[in-house]
Every structure is written in structure tokens, then in C-alpha cells.
Amino acid sequence: MNKDNSTDARSPTLAVPSGRGSRLVRLGWMATGIAGGMVAEGARQLAQGNRPKVSDLLFTPANARRVADQLAKLRGAAMKVGQLISMDSGDLLPPALGDILGRLRSDAKAMPKSQVVSVLEANWGKGWEKQFKHFSFTPLAAASIGQVHRAQTRDGRDMAIKIQYPGVRESIDSDVDNVAALFRMSGLLPKEMDIKPLLRDAKRQLHDEADYVREGNYLRRYGELLADEPVYLLPQLHADLTTHSVLAMSFVGGVPIESLVDAPQTERDRAVALLFALLLREVFEFRLVQTDPNFANYRYDTDSRQLILLDFGATRPYKATMANEFRRLMKGAITGDRAAMSAAAIAIGYFDDTTQEKHRQAILEMGEQAFEPFCLAGEYDFGGSDLPARIRDGGMALGLDKTFWQLPPADAMLLQRKFGGLYLLAIRLKARVDLHAVAQAALASRKRSPPSHA
């Protein structure tokens, strides 16, 4: 077997701490580093005759880098929390922390070759390399819970092999709790920010994502559901080499979806329209939604003009009742029928009979804003939109009202996150899309697929 042993200098390897003790030590180093940074910065400010506030000492670029660096070294659930907080919180975070945590979405360090070999031996047994003509130990990508390698089998298959970091599955709950506690104690998250729902969702999502057999089943299911849509391209599952910690797929190329920012306007518009059309089909027809809005889950084939779909670890089945109520909520927003929106919001769990009227109206206003791109006839110009900021401001105002404690169910929050993530991508690409027409087609469709879920 030919082996690529090279190491990418831009992304040096670093062993993943797999034991709970070693992971907790890493978090301790982060806390110590933050404290030390505060002392040093305080001394510097005092020497200049300033009297800094504690918040000024906490929210320094150096402390933000310490947080991001340690989370990147831990990978797993710890890194995922940083990713989710940066994606969901946006401008709620201090700018330095928000910017640097945002880099965690694409800045994981790779495992060294010895650790990769150890994981593969544990899953495929010794002598696994005899099945391959070539295996590159330089990963194509490294993310929060695993990294992807390219390989060619002796029977001619060109493959992408996703390998899970050791210890990830066992450390999920403790990692999430420890990172959240550390963020709270260090003051690196605003006190008024309620992240409990986010942490609960992060644990559930991570446990799902850490099961590669489950993900492989959903990859195969999506291939079946989209067999009639050649505009979408998915990898093919290779079940014979897939385990709970190793996912074997056919290799697909393409370019990052964000790189379309330099593409012609029509190409950007088309890609975004395909993404939203797929999401509505997932909700209303498949009742199966890939809920992770990370941009890295999408690529684009510039030759075939196919939208490439990757990573189905965060896929979640939805009950018919939830899909139907979400349909009623969307229809109500588009037609301006607040009574229908209110009935759907109650059924979904956004509020109940005990909710104050002012809070009901605030939630309905946020719902109307959230569906704004689908409500306006003609092209919606995402490049000139401040929609995410307006939705965030409304949510923050409601969250700070101590007389309102109603939280929507996790399934609803995951849908919100997915729509919000696609809005952010559309804004990044400055897309102009007639989502009103996309919604009308989806809402009018009576096509149904059998709810065969993995």
C-alpha cells in the first residue's frame, strides 16, 4: 500500500486527549491562562494610569485566543460547544471572543498518524492496510469530532474515510457541562444569556453525530429520497468498512459553498434556492431534516453545477404533527393570518394558555420576521438584509424578560437554527432569491415519501 505520510504545515497534527482526566486538565489550563492574562493585562493598564473594569480584563483578544486554542486542542464536544455558541450567539458575544470562536468552525487540528492508526486498528483490526492501494494520512478536513482521509481500495473504490477522535463519545456530557461551567465562571459569556437549551441540544446532537452507523443509514436514506433530483450529489455509503467510529463513503470533490461568493449572481442565486427548496422538502415531505447549518456540510461542483450534500450526523426525524403545524405557521405568516400562526405556535410549544398576551405577540412578531424572505413576493435581496440581527434582537429582548420562561421544544429550536444558518449563508453569498415562489410550491405539494427513518 502506498501511504501519504506528509503533514500539512498549515494544520499541524496534535493528539486528541481521550481520557476524562486529561480533558479536564486542559480546561483547567484554559482557566489558569485566562486568570494569568487578566493579571498581566491589569498590571499593564495600571502602569499606564488606567483603572480597568473586570470585564475589560476578561474580554481581551489574548483571553479569547486562549479559549479558542484550548477548545481546538480538545476537539470533541468541547470544541462543538464553542462552534454552536459562536454560530447561535452572534453579536451577543464580545467581538474578540465571537470572532475567534467563529474560527473553530473550520480550524480543528488533525490527529497524528499514530492515533489514526490506533483508531483504525480498533475498528478494522490489525492488517487493515492490506485492503487499500493507497491511504493518505494527511486529512482532507478536520472538524470537531472527526477528520476525513482519502483512500483507494484494492478493488478500485475512491473513498473518503471519516475517523472519529478517540474518547469523543464517552466525554460528550462531561465536556459540555465543564465547558459551559468554565465559560460561566470566567465571565466569558454574558450573565443574561441563557444557554441551557443550547447545551441540551448540543449533547443530543453530539451523541447522534458520534454514531457513524446511524449517520451512514441517513446518508443512504437521503440518497434514496433525492434519487429524483440530479441537482443534488451525495456520497455513496460503503457499509462494509463503516463502524460506529469510522464512516466510509465514496469521494466527492467540489469547492466550498462559500467560494461561490465570487461566482456570477445567477449561480449564487441558484445554489441558495436549491438549499431552501431542499429544506422545505425535508420538513414537509421527508419529515427528516439535516439540522446542522455548518457551511462545511455543503460543497458545489462547478462543472456539473450540482449541490453536494455532506455530513448527515445531525439528521433528525420529525413527526407528521410537527411538520403539519410548521406548515400552518408558515402559511399563516405568508398570508398575514395571525390567528392561524397563534394556533400553530401553541401546538408546536412556543407558548401556551398561561403566556401573557404581550409575550404571545412578541413571539408572533418574531415568527413573521423569521419567515420574511418567504412572505415578500419577488426576489429577496439577502445581501442588503439585516434579518438575523433583527431576529436576534427580538429574541434577546424576550429572553431578558424574567416574566417569560417558556422555551420551545428542541425540534423547533433545531429548525430555527437550520433556517438561520441558511439565511447567514445567503447573506454571505449576497443571493437574490424568490423564496416566496419556492414556499408556494412546497406548501402546495402533496407529494409524500414513506417515513422510513434509520
Residues designated catalytic: 292
Q: Are 218 and 315 in contact (CB under 8 A)?
A: yes
Instruction: Show the 3-state SS of 368-426.
Output: HHHCHHHHCCCCEEHHHCCHHHHHHHHHHHHHCCCCCCCCCCHHHHHHHHHHHHHHHHH
Residue 251 contacts residue 235 (beta carbons within 8 Å): yes
**Which three cell numbers, joined as nine digits, stand for 320?**
407528521
- Provide the pairing of β-strand 288-290 with 315-317: antiparallel
| Residues 375, 330, 285: CA angle, nearest 5 degrees | 120
Query: d(Cα 431, Cα 435) in Å, to the nearest integer?
Result: 11
Residue 114 buriedness (CB in 10 A; 0-12 / 13-18 / 19+): exposed
Q: How many residues does the chain have?
A: 454
Please state, in angstroms and rounded to a whole number, the distance separating the CA atoms of residues 361 and 218: 38
Report how far residue 31's alpha carbon sits from residue 37's, in angstroms, rounded to the nearest whole number: 10
> Which set of grid coordinates corresponds to residue 194?
441563557
- Residue 43 backbone phi and psi in degrees, to 5: -60, -40
What is the rounded CA–CA span in Å between residue 384 and residue 374?
16
Give the position of cell 453569498. Answer: 429
The Cα-based distances of 216 to 120, 167, 208, 321, 367 in angstroms read 17, 20, 12, 27, 34
